[in-house]
Amino acid sequence: MTGEERIQAAISSLDRIKPCPECGMRYRVGDAECPQCGGELDDMLRDWAEGLIAEIAPDQE
């Protein structure tokens, strides 16, 4: 799996997050901007995915 494929797999796996048991709020995969302020989220998600991959598979770059 290439680095880009690992990044996309990590981001895509976010849809496995369970909803809040209190209010039912869910993270919505595919949101490219903040639902509250409209800020761009793609760069932050990519940074998160790259950091996650580096942490769990540091020797597979």
pLDDT (tens digit per residue) in 37-61: 878 878 888 888 888 888 888 776 5
- Alpha-carbon distance of 55 to 61, in angstroms, equals 11
- Total tally of structural domains belonging to the chain: 1
Q: Is residue 43 part of a domain?
A: yes
Can you tell me the mean pLDDT for 7-33?
A: 75
Predicted pLDDT of residue 14? 79
32: in domain? yes
pLDDT score for 37: 80
Residue 44 belongs to domain spanning: 3-56
The answer to whether the beta carbons of residues 50 and 41 sit under 8 Å apart is no
> For residue 61, is it within any domain?
no
Residue 17: CB atoms within 10 A of its CB come to 10
Using one digit for the tens of pLDDT, what is the confidence trace for 3-18? 888 888 888 887 777 7
